[in-house]
Amino acid sequence: MNAPAERILTREHGLELLGQMLRIRCFEDRCYRLYGEGKIRGFLHLYNGEEAVAVGALKALRPCDAIVSTYREHGHALVRGISMEKVMAELFGKHTGCSRGRGGSMHLFDASKRFYGGNAIVAGGLPIAVGLALAQKLARPGELTACFFGDGAVAEGEFHESLNLASLWRLPVLFLCENNLYAMGTALERAQAQTDITVQARAYRIEAAAVDGMDVLAVEEAVGAAAERIRKDAGPALLEMRTYRFRAHSMFDPQLYRDKAEIEAWRKKGPIITLTTRLKTLGLMSEEDYQRLEREAQAQVEAAVRFAESSPWEPVSELERFVYAGAS
């Protein structure tokens, strides 16, 4: 694994990263409650524990880069800059949502941010990322496509087909595997003959590294370095972000497959605690700073909930719009 990056951590940068992680954490915790209240329905997959991956990765990328994500993508969408109001409204199914309420939690889109969606088919986004990168390589060199997926996707054929194609054609894809050790209830070692995902990537001659996904600075540094190589036409790269999800897989998961003690142990090395401790130890942040960031995040979330609550539903008369772009 990459060594944690202690270099040139400024107060400003540290607070920015922490603030982003707190935004996601507060958002997700609020979603959990809203689900209980029946405001959010459908499948809801929360990102608690994995915030450092979205924040570190997306902070290291550029606005011109394309992003492809999964159904566990609230964090990616928020850090990418889709407004929290629009994301929350989407979860409510409102007209003002970032997909007009047609996608819900698993399908957040924003074409203007080059955010090509949460995909609810495990590994379904990887081939699309390959194609986006093909378009970039041919028409817009220097851009790349970052593709998030879980450890479960590694078992799918689409993962292997996509890695091979991206490597064969030297495409600017950054594969970002969020290895949280479980695909629903199936632990990685119960699913993979080779649990080191970087080894699988190297079999396709793809540069790969494992990263401490609980350390936002390590993620940011690794993604920045990989992106720089990719922009120079070095071909694709894969980073295995070793992380953990603190909450259930979805809202319908009694978590029979893992111990409470295991979850507690991971919580102690969670990304927010880790960065908070580091910033305080280095004297870059006070407890008041932390409280303020948390208050700000909470205020944003409450504003987003108010926006979603007060937003209208799309008229049913528009149901059939956008099935075809040619007849919208």
Partner 1 sequence: MPAPPEPAAPLAYREAVREAVREALKADPRVFLMGEDVGRYGGSYAVSKGLLEEFGPQRIRDTPLCESAFVGAGIGAALGGLRPIVEIMTVNFSLLALDQIVNNAATLSHMSGGQLSVPLVIRLATGAGRQLAAQHSHSLEGWYAHIPGLRIAVPSTLDDARFMLAAALASPDPVLLFEHLYLYNMEGELTAGLERVDLDHAAIRRPGGDLTLITYGWSLYKCLAAAETLSREGIEAEVLDLRTLRPLDDAAILASVRRTHRALIVDEGWRSGSLSAEVSARIMEQAFYDLDAPVARVCTMEVPVPYAKHLEEAALPSPERILAAARTLLSPGASG
Q: Which residues bind Mg ion (CB under 5 A)?
A: 150-151, 180, 183
Residue 104: CB minimum distance to ligand TPP, A = 14
Q: Between residues 228 and 262, which has the closer beta carbon with respect to ligand TPP?
A: 262
DSSP β-ladder status, 237-242 and 207-212: parallel
257 is an interface residue for ligand TPP by CB under 6 A: no
Which of Mg ion, ligand TPP, partner 1, none does 133 bind, CB closer than 5 to 8 A by kind?
partner 1
Concatenated DSSP letters for 7-42? TT--HHHHHHHHHHHHHHHHHHHHHHHHHHTTSS-S
Instruction: Among 45, 94, 107, 249, indicate the residue that binds partner 1 (CB under 8 A).
Output: 107
User: H or E element: which one contains 120?
Assistant: none
Nearest Cα to Cα of residue 72 among 263, 260, 245: 245
Which of ligand TPP, Mg ion, partner 1, none does 328 bind, CB closer than 5 to 8 A by kind?
partner 1
Angle at 59 between CA 127 and CA 170, to 5 degrees: 35
Q: Residues of 111-147 as b/e, b for ≥16 C-beta within 10 angstroms?
A: eebbbbbbbbebbbbbbbbbbbbbebbeeeeebbbbb
Binders in 139-168 for partner 1, by CB under 8 A: 139, 145, 157-158, 161-162, 164-165, 168
Concatenated DSSP letters for 132-201? HHHHHHHH-TT--EEEEEEGGGGGSHHHHHHHHHHHHTT--EEEEEEE-SEETTEEHHHH-SS--HHHHH
170 is an interface residue for partner 1 by CB under 8 A: no
Q: Between residues 233 and 262, which has the closer beta carbon with respect to partner 1?
A: 233
Instruction: Among 1, 135, 184, 199, indicate the residue that binds ligand TPP (CB under 6 A).
Output: 184
103 is an interface residue for partner 1 by CB under 8 A: yes
Tell the burial category of 77 from Cβ atoms under 10 Å away from its Cβ (0-12, 13-18, 19+): buried
User: H or E element: which one contains 232?
Assistant: none
282 is an interface residue for ligand TPP by CB under 6 A: no
Look up residue 74 and give its two tokens.
Answer: 């609230």
Q: Of the ranges 148-156, 207-215, 225-233, 259-267, which one interacts with ligand TPP (CB under 6 A)?
A: 148-156
Instruction: Among 174, 183, 227, 248, indicate the residue that binds ligand TPP (CB under 6 A).
Output: 183
Partners of residue 148 on adjacent β-strands: 176
Can you tell me the distance from the alpha carbon of 252 to that of 43, in angstroms, rounded to the nearest whole number? 8
Nearest Cα to Cα of residue 13 among 200, 174, 211, 220: 220
151 is an interface residue for ligand TPP by CB under 6 A: yes
Q: For 119, phi and psi rounded to 5 degrees? A: -115, 130
Residue 71: CB minimum distance to ligand TPP, A = 7
Q: Of the ranges 149-157, 159-167, 261-269, 283-291, which one interacts with ligand TPP (CB under 6 A)?
A: 149-157
Q: Between residues 68 and 293, which has the closer beta carbon with respect to partner 1?
A: 68
Instruction: Among 60, 89, 122, 238, indicate the residue that binds ligand TPP (CB under 6 A).
Output: 122
Longest dimension (CA), the chain: 59
97 is an interface residue for partner 1 by CB under 8 A: yes
Which chain residues interact with partner 1 by CB under 8 A?
66, 68, 97-103, 107, 109-112, 116-117, 119, 121, 124, 126-136, 138-139, 145, 157-158, 161-162, 164-165, 168, 321-326, 328
Q: Which residues bind ligand TPP (CB under 6 A)?
A: 72, 120-122, 150-153, 178, 180, 182-184, 249
